[in-house]
């Protein structure tokens, strides 16, 4: 029977709780989701919104990427809590440092992906996560980056200039009604990165609430990582799990 994919639909995948170990001695908690019965063709390393304002590895767009994209698009999705951040998966050691010491967290994710031979790694940052991408993500092991709702509060012109010289592709998804940076200003600010493509999303807000916008974001991500893939389906014909509430999400981790 065909099932319409909703906000609490979980598609099949191999899901494994993981730990990342930083160069400054911290253990960070996370999860790696991979296709159920085949190897991934590419990898998303995700960086969550601001933890002091409720952001964590289970922020809904990143959670839904992990729930859907291994089955739909053969992608591996790596999620983790940056230092001092808690979620149902657990609490990462350390304390929030406003994006500075988080450079060790980003590097630990690169190290994990490298050690486990995860293929074609792309960074996906959302809000505060975009700042980490811009400040610390220009690593030769990544193929490029996708930014969701970048506020550009912490990243400075020198970080943008560094990404320009880095040369790897970048897609910037900017909600029409974002609280911090809207499409016209984003085009101007990201002009420093010559290879950056700014995509305004009509009707969307900073948090991408609503399945319409989640579907758009995930489709954009997949088509950047797998060019020509096309629009993601909104239905599923195979096995799936359907949670009943957000409370069940929190209890299951």
Q: Which long-range contacts (CB under 8 A, 24 or more apart) does 13-19 make?
A: 13/66, 13/67, 13/70, 13/71, 14/70, 15/66, 17/89, 18/78, 18/80, 18/112
pLDDT of residue 252 exceeding 60, the answer is no
Q: Which element (helix H / strand E) includes 161?
A: helix 157-166
Q: Residue 250: what pLDDT?
A: 58
Q: Residue 117: what pLDDT?
A: 98
Tell me what the pLDDT averaged over the chain comes to. 96
- pLDDT tens column, 3-17: 999 999 999 999 999
Report yes or no: 102 and 83 within 8 Å, Cβ to Cβ: yes
Q: Residue 245: what pLDDT?
A: 75
pLDDT of residue 49 exceeding 90, the answer is yes
Strands 14-21 and 27-34: antiparallel
CATH of 3-252, one of 3.90.1150.10, 3.40.50.300, 3.40.1080.10, 3.40.50.1820: 3.40.50.1820
Q: Residue 248: what pLDDT?
A: 57
């Amino acid at each position: 029977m065909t099932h319409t994919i909703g906000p609490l639909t979980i598609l099949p995948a191999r899901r494994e709780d993981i730990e990342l170990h930083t160069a400054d001695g911290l253990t960070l908690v996370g999860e790696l989701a991979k296709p159920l019965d085949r190897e991934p063709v590419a990898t998303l390393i995700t960086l969550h919104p601001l933890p002091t304002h409720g952001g964590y590895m289970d922020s809904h767009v990143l959670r839904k990427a992990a729930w859907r994209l291994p089955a739909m698009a053969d992608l591996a999705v790596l999620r983790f809590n940056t230092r001092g951040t808690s979620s149902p998966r657990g609490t990462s050691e350390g304390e929030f440092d406003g994006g500075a010491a988080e450079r060790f967290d980003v590097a630990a994710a690169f190290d994990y992906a490298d050690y486990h031979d995860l293929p074609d790694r792309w960074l996906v940052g959302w809000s505060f996560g975009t700042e980490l991408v811009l400040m610390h993500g220009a690593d030769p092991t990544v193929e490029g980056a996708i930014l969701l709702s970048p506020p550009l509060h912490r990243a400075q012109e020198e970080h943008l200039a560094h990404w320009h010289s880095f040369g790897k592709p970048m897609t910037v998804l900017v909600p029409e009604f974002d609280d911090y940076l809207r499409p016209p200003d984003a085009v101007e600010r990201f002009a420093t990165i010559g290879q950056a493509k700014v995509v305004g999303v009509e009707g969307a807000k900073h948090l991408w609430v609503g399945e319409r916008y989640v579907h758009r974001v995930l489709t954009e991500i997949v088509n950047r990582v797998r060019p020509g893939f096309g629009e993601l389906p909104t239905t599923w014909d195979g096995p799936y799990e359907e949670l009943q509430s957000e409370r069940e999400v929190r209890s299951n981790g």
